[in-house]
Amino acid sequence: MYPLIWDEPFREGYQEWMKAHPRYAGISRERIRLLASDPFHPSLKTHQLSGRLTGMYAARITLELRIIFRLTPDPDPSLILIGFADHTEVF
């Protein structure tokens, strides 16, 4: 299990998105738990980003929604949750 670090922009974006899309509350919590246990689980379709987001990863929450995160290096890796945005906003 990877510790999750919720940075402030992520927390704000997540709260705003949940207010606008309450029907996704359950699936988003489930996917965040899955991300913490296995950030590269096939259902998350996690992939490295490039350009201005080099060094970060995107994981799928829904068809439209992505979580942007950074994986800290060993020996004690953790996930820093950076962004929570619509697929079109990320790419």
pLDDT one-digit tens code per residue, 56-82: 999 998 888 889 999 988 788 899 998
Query: Is pTM, for the whole model, over 0.75?
Result: yes
Query: Rounded to an integer, what distance in angstroms lies between the CA atom of residue 29 and that of residue 48?
Result: 22
Query: Rounded to an integer, what distance in angstroms lies between the CA atom of residue 90 and that of residue 68?
Result: 8
Please list the ranges in the chain whose pLDDT falls under 70. Answer: 85-91
Query: Rounded to an integer, what distance in angstroms lies between the CA atom of residue 87 and that of residue 41?
Result: 19
